[in-house]
Chains A and B, each alone.
Chain A
Amino acid sequence: MKDIVVKGLCKSFKSRGKTITAVDDVSFYVTKGEIFGFLGANGAGKSTTINILAGLLTQDKGTVKLCGKDPYKDWEYVKNRMNVSTAYFPLSDVLTVRQNLRVYAKIYGVKDVEAKINQLLEDFELTALGDKRVNRLSSGERTRTALCKGFINDPQLLLLDECTVGLDPDIAEKTRRLIKEYQKRTNCTILFTSHYMHEVEELCDRVAFMEEGKIVTIATVDELKKRVTKHKVELTLAENGDDLKDLLKEEGLTVLAGRDNTLIFEVDVASDDVNTIVQQLVKQGLNLKDIHIKKPTLDDIFIHFARRKK
């Protein structure tokens, strides 16, 4: 079963007489229980797509199905089963954390309101701040409050738009763990955007890359990594490696960095064999202390797509 089905989604905005295309013929699906990552540079169209799915924005063209239904026709059914959270929109700052959560719990028709709020406050380490007004919280605490709201109705479909921005690393790690645990426990579907690639790598089953309003690729993280054939090789030498730089350049390799006894160069695993290269270097008198081959991360994939665009 597919919890999100998007077909031919288009959205453009008019600004000072110019038409800006934010989302251009975007189609994708997310199966039930999947965590689907949305990646792309700022202005790529990720948030616009999420805002359309959240019902905050109407599309120019295209269709959206959420939880198997048309959200415009089956408003009650869809809206009660989904929720949204983002670090950029805190809850009402005049209200306390508890008051905010109580209001949203009642909006979603949550049965045991206080028990649910207590559990969420404990999960996100906000119990001591429950009676504090949102405008007195730090940005990380506000973000956690917004996350609590995102889980208030035990959603079947959760849209998380850069929901960990501003969190301390330990809380961000805990948040990711909570998201994962919740997803495993409830088999909920999550659409996740983040600028932190390691988060996407850790959480997401599949990833879509957006560029100028279009989806350029959809794949699993492993599949994406395979597409990036350039690996980084870091050599630690017994002596200064300045002479080696020229040697590597002669071999047609790109030297990325070199200082003192360390040298980093790039190999294309599709055409180059790292073993052969290293053997040749040793034959030519290279005194090698350590070698480290870095496989591409999502950061590298992100850069790969960004470079490709340029």
Chain B
Amino acid sequence: MKFYRITALLLKYYYISINRVDRLFDILYWPILDVLLWGFTSAFIKDISEVNILSMALGGVILWLFVWRSGQDIAVFILEDFWSRNLYHLFSSPVRLTEHILSILIWGVIRATVSFIFLSLLAYGLYAFNILTLPILFMASAIAILLLFGWAMGFFITGCIFRYGQRIQVLAWSVVWVIQPFSCVFYPLSALPAWAQPIAKILPTTHVFETLRSILFGYGEGNLLYALVATLVFMAVTSLFLLQSFKHAKRSGMFARHD
């Protein structure tokens, strides 16, 4: 692995981000809408019922962006190369798959950090919600677990793209959102129907948000240690899947197809 090749790829993602307004937009636009939507909804619920879900909702929105950004960025940047048929040049150059993926991960962390800082300031400015009042150990572990889980999702989606091509590109936008209802981001695990609870318990994300609720309200069934172990297992499995899919793509000629 060569550092100068990773920085070259980071330069490419920087160029893509400054040349395409929509790439800049999704760092701030959708997260801001989420904060506004959940902030106003929480304020309304508090007005009519005196139940305060503001910190839970905003904490959920701000932390969820790590799963969203890290998972979606991998797939979207790989798709960007597919759309411009650029994988031909990339994989015939000295760039290795690990360098390619690592550069996307670094770029994803940069984008997620920008979104995180901006949303934290917005939540503080609009609703006086300070996410930094949460315990630092929880914040560090939650962000690490959510980032890693997002990457695992990203590896899965990328593996599918390498295997089946652009026809399954809808996965890039949908997988993270399919997982969200089972991750109990905005409501407790007990609020899920009985059939959905076992699925939710398997997901590391559920345990992170349950722990968040236990810190904020004193109830929740989160187990961060399980979440970390499960995330590492997901990472290992999806990394293997990605590697096998890359080999499959090289056997099938996916990177050298004209269409």
Contacts and interface: CB of A to CB of B under 8 A. Distances in A.
Interface of A: 13, 47-48, 51, 54-58, 75-76, 79-80, 83-84, 86, 88-96, 99, 102-104, 106-109, 133-134, 146, 149
Contacts of B4: 106, 109
Nearest to B93: A107
Given A89-B85, A106-B7, A94 B20 contact: yes
A76 B5 CA distance: 12
B129 to A, nearest CB: 37
Nearest to B248: A58
Given A92-B16, A103-B8, A107-B8, 5 more contacts: A55-B92, A80-B94, A84-B89, A106-B7, A146-B89
A93 B89 contact: no
A297 B84 CA distance: 38
B94 A104 contact: no
Interface stretch (B143-151, B186-194, B250-258): B250-258
B8 A57 contact: no
Contact of B89 (A48, A57, A89): A89
Contacts of A99: 12, 15, 19
29 contacts: A51-B253, A51-B256, A54-B92, A54-B256, A55-B92, A56-B250, A56-B253, A56-B255, A56-B256, A57-B251, A58-B247, A58-B251, A79-B94, A88-B85, A89-B88, A90-B84, A92-B12, A92-B80, A95-B16, A95-B19, A96-B19, A99-B15, A106-B5, A106-B8, A107-B8, A109-B2, A109-B4, A109-B5, A149-B89
Report which residue of A54, A103, A146 has the largest number of chain B beta carbons within 10 angstroms of its beta carbon: A103
Contacts of A134: 84
A280 B184 CA distance: 98
A29 B256 CA distance: 23
A56 B90 CA distance: 10
Contacts of B9: 103, 107
Given A79-B94, A91-B89, A133 B253 contact: no
A26 B250 CA distance: 19
List the 9 shortest-distance A-B pairs measured between CB atoms, nearest first: A106-B8, A79-B94, A89-B88, A54-B92, A51-B256, A84-B92, A103-B12, A107-B8, A56-B256
Interface of B: 2, 4-5, 7-9, 11-12, 15-16, 19-20, 80-81, 84-86, 88-89, 91-96, 247, 250-253, 255-256, 258
A94 B16 contact: yes
B19 A94 contact: yes
Given A79-B94, A108-B93, A57 B253 contact: yes
Contacts of A80: 94
A48 B86 CA distance: 18
A92 B256 CA distance: 15
Contact of A79 (B16, B19, B93, B255): B93
A104 B93 contact: yes
B85 A90 contact: yes
Contacts of A103: 8-9, 11-12, 15
Contacts of B89: 84, 89, 91, 104, 146, 149
Contacts of A146: 89
A83 B93 CA distance: 7
A69 B9 CA distance: 27
Contacts of A95: 12, 15-16, 19
B121 to A, nearest CB: 30
A152 B122 CA distance: 46
Given A56-B253, A57-B250, A99-B15, A92 B81 contact: yes
B19 A133 contact: yes
A86 B256 CA distance: 11
Contacts of B91: 55-56
A83 B7 CA distance: 20
A21 B192 CA distance: 54
Nearest to A85: B89
